[in-house]
Amino acid sequence: MSETRYTDQHEWVRIDGDEATVGITKYAAEQLGDVVYVELPDAGRKIGQGGEAAVVESVKAASEVYAPVTGEVTAANAALGQDPAKVNADPEGEGWFFKLKIADTTEFKTLMSEAQYTEYVKGL
């Protein structure tokens, strides 16, 4: 069973076993506007919680994407290279950025639940 958690930097992370899939939230995609380029991490790269993992560029701005949990990159969504607009079309689905093999599952529990994230966004 998978569970999704959120960061205050607007990343989401979905855990399934010891693998985490990471992307940006619908809110973040809306704030960015039309995404035109995504720079993804290479497989094998180790990233600490809160470390810079990827870059997303839109017509408005460029933003870093941070790792919500510590781990080693196992895959990147190569489809975003050909079609970065997938981030806008389905940010919490086909627009995922990368997958990690989780180093410490306790970090996941420190992140916001969907209800907590929804309340957080309302206050912005």
How far are the Cα atoms of 59, 60, 78 from residue 33, in angstroms, in the given order?
A: 7, 7, 21
pLDDT grade for 2, boundaries at 50, 70 and 90? confident
**Ordered domains of the chain (ranges, CATH):** 3-122 (2.40.50.100)
Q: Give the pLDDT of residue 18.
A: 87
> What backbone phi and psi angles, to 5 degrees, belong to 67?
-75, 120
The predicted model gives 106-124 an average pLDDT of 96
Cα separation, 95 vs 77, whole angstroms: 8
33-72 per-position pLDDT tens digit: 999 999 999 999 999 999 999 999 999 999 999 999 999 9
20 is written with which tokens? 């985490």
Q: Give the pLDDT of residue 1.
A: 62
